Each structure stands twice: as C-alpha cells, then as structure tokens.
Amino acid sequence: MPLVRISVPSGKRAEYLKAISDGVHQALVEIFKIPADDLFQIITEHIPATQLVRPKRYLGIDYSDDLMVIQITANDTRTVEQKKALYKGIAERLSKSPGVRTQDILINLVEVKKENWSFGNGEAQYA
C-alpha cells in the first residue's frame, strides 16, 4: 500500500518521469509515513486533449496541455489534515522538480480497507 497511477502527457523524457515518480513517493513516505520500499507505481502517457478528456478550466483552475493525473489507492486510515498535507506536498515537490505547474497536478485519493490488498501468493497480508 499504496498503489499509485500517474498519467502524464506523452513525449516527456525519462528524467522528467523519474522526477515525478520520486516526488510522489517522497511525499508519501514523509507525509503518509509509508515504508520507503513500499513503491508500487504505474506510469502511463497520454496525448493531450484526446486520451485525457478534461475541461480547459475547472473550479477556477486553468489547465495546460501538461495536466497530469495522479491517483493514489491507499488504506482508509488518514485524517483530512494528512490528506491535505499530502496534496500540498506532492504539488510542492513536483513544482520544484521537474517544474510542473501546480495547476496541472490533479490528485485523486481512493481509500480502501486493509483487507482489500494481496501482494502476492494469493494472500491478504493486511487482513
């Protein structure tokens, strides 16, 4: 736990993708206090305006073609304050490296019960 899906615009360099991966993981380790070796991420690329359908503006936020979506599936154990800190921590890290506009970082947290995980061997390790 957690499982992180990161969808980014196509054509980004490997260094950019690594910085995104590292920034999200660092925030989870520091703010959600996950173990450092708990690193499960799926990174996909999309073509802006065709494979990621979204408005140009929502809730007063203007998006560019660099909009990325970060979906985190994690155990339902965090407070609202911890969640807010995570969103802010991810945005701060990614704005520093690789330089993503904070307006272009959409984060979705999906919370599940601990028994909803199997990390292998057909076992529910957290149940």
Annotated active-site residue 35? The verdict is no
Catalytic residue among 2, 9, 48, 55: 2
- Transcribe 45-110 into DSSP letters: EE-BTTTB---SEETTEE--TT-EEEEEEEES---HHHHHHHHHHHHHHHHHTT---GGGEEEEEE
The C-alpha atoms of residue 54 and residue 73 are separated, in whole angstroms, by: 21
Catalytic residues: 2
